[in-house]
Structure 1
Amino acid sequence: MQNEERKLTPAELKRKEEFEETEAAFAMQGYRKERLTMGIVAANIFALGIALPIDIVLGIAFFAIHPAGSLTFDFAGALGVLAAFIVLIVVHELIHGLVWSLYAKGGRKAISFGFIVEYLTPYCSCSEPLPKHAYIIGALAPTVVLGLLPVLASYALGSIPLFAVGALMIIGGGGDMAIVLKLLRFKPEGTEVLLLDHPYELGLAAFVK
C-alpha cells in the first residue's frame, strides 16, 4: 500500500504543496527527482529484517555476561518497559528533529512533526535540503541514543528491563536504518545531489543534476 492512498491531514497537504513548489524550482534548475521512499508496511518488514538480527546478537552478548538465572523480570518490569517504549517513540521523533535542525539553515522552523493515524505512527520531516552526512546522522541518532546506549548500559548494570527497552527502540529504528541503507545504495548519475526529506512519506527525494 502506498502512502498516497491515505487521507492527508491539513498540515501534510500544506507540506506537500511546499514540497511540490521546491520540486518545480529544482526542475527549472535542471535537477531530476529520484524517489527514495518506502511504504509503512514495507518499512516495518525491512525493519524487522534489519533490527531483529542486531537484537539477537546483542541479546546473546547480554546473557553471556549476565546468565539468565541470576536475573529477574516481573510484571511490573514489563509494564515499565511498555510505558517507556510508548514515551520513547515520541522522543525518537524529537531527536530526529533536533539533529536535523542543527544542519538546516532555518533551524527548528524547518522541522515539523506528524502522526499517521492508520498506523499509530508519529514522524518527523525536515523541509530543507540536507547534506548526505547530515541526513544519515539525523536518521540514525534516535536509534543510537535510545537503543544502542541503553543496551550498552544494561551490560554494565545487568538490567533486563533496560536491555528490553533498548532492544525495542532498535527495532523501532529499523525503518530509519532501511532508509539509510537505501540512500547508501543510491548511486546517482550526476555531480550535484540535493537530499530533501519527504513531507509525509517515510524516506526522502534526491534531486540530481
Structure 2
Amino acid sequence: MENFEEYEKEKKTINIYTANGVGLAITGAAAILFGVPFYLIWGLNSFLSLQQVLLFILLFVAGIVIHELIHGFFFGLFAKNRFKSIRFGVMWQMLTPYCHCKEPLRIKHYFLGALMPALLLGIIPAVIALFNGSGMMLLFGVLFTGAAAGDFMVVWILRKEHPDTYVQDHPSEAGCFVYRKREEV
C-alpha cells in the first residue's frame, strides 16, 4: 500500500437528499427509456398481477441487500486487505444502506465497484425484460437503475480524476476522499 502522507487529501461528498431526488429522476427516465419500448413490444398484458407484486416486494428487499453486497464484492477484489476492508451499514436518518471500503482504492477500481450494482441489478434486467416480456423484471431493473443515483453522482464528481489516483470511501457521508500525489518542488 502507498504511504498516503505524501498525498494531498480532498473530501468529495454528495448531498443524500439531492441523491434521492436524482434517484427519482433517474427512475423516471429509466421507466420511459425501458417502459415505452416494453409497452410497444408486449402491451399491458405483461404487467404485474397481485401475486407478482407481493413476490416483487420480497425481491426488492433482497435486491437492496444484493446491491450493497455487489459493491462489497468488487471493492474487496481490489482492496489490499480484501474483504476484511469491507463493512456494511445503514444511514438510519435516511434509511439508506451502504457499503464502505476502509482503505483507498484506485479510482478505476472504485468506479467498477460503484457502478456494478446499477449494471447487474438495473440495466441488464431492464434490457432482458424487453426481450422476455417480464413486467416484474422491467420494474426491478428500472427501480435498481434509479437506486444507483448516489453511485452515479459519486462517479460523476470523480470523473476528471486520473484513473490511477487513489480514492477512499468517506466513513460517515455519501462520498469519498481523493488522494493526489503532492507535486515535488
Which bin holds the TM-score, normalised by the shorter protein?
0.7 to 0.9
Correspondence for 1:107 among 47, 72, 82: 82
1 CA distance for matches of 2:152 and 2:42? 28
Which secondary structure state, in structure 2, belongs to the residue aligned with residue 207 of structure 1?
Answer: strand
Correspondence for 1:174 among 149, 152, 158: 149
- Report the Cα offset of residue 124 of structure 1: 0.3
The one-letter amino acid of 2:55's match is G
* Percentage of identical aligned residues: 34
Q: Over aligned residue pairs, what C-alpha RMSD do you find?
A: 1.8
Correspondence for 2:23 among 35, 39, 47: 47
Other-structure match for 2:100? 125
Query: 2:12 matched to 1:36?
Result: yes
TM (norm. structure 1) is 0.78
Q: How does 1:34-113 map to 2 (within 5 A)?
A: 34-68=10-44, 70-113=45-88
2 CA distance for matches of 1:133 and 1:61? 33
The one-letter amino acid of 1:126's match is C
- Runs (4 or more) in structure 1 with deviation over 3 Å come to none
The one-letter amino acid of 1:193's match is T
2 CA distance for matches of 1:143 and 1:187? 21
Q: How many residues align?
A: 178
2 CA distance for matches of 1:197 and 1:42? 19
- Report the Cα offset of residue 72 of structure 1: 4.3
When structure 1 is superposed on structure 2, of 53-62 and 87-96 the one drifting more is 53-62
Query: 2:176 matched to 1:201?
Result: no
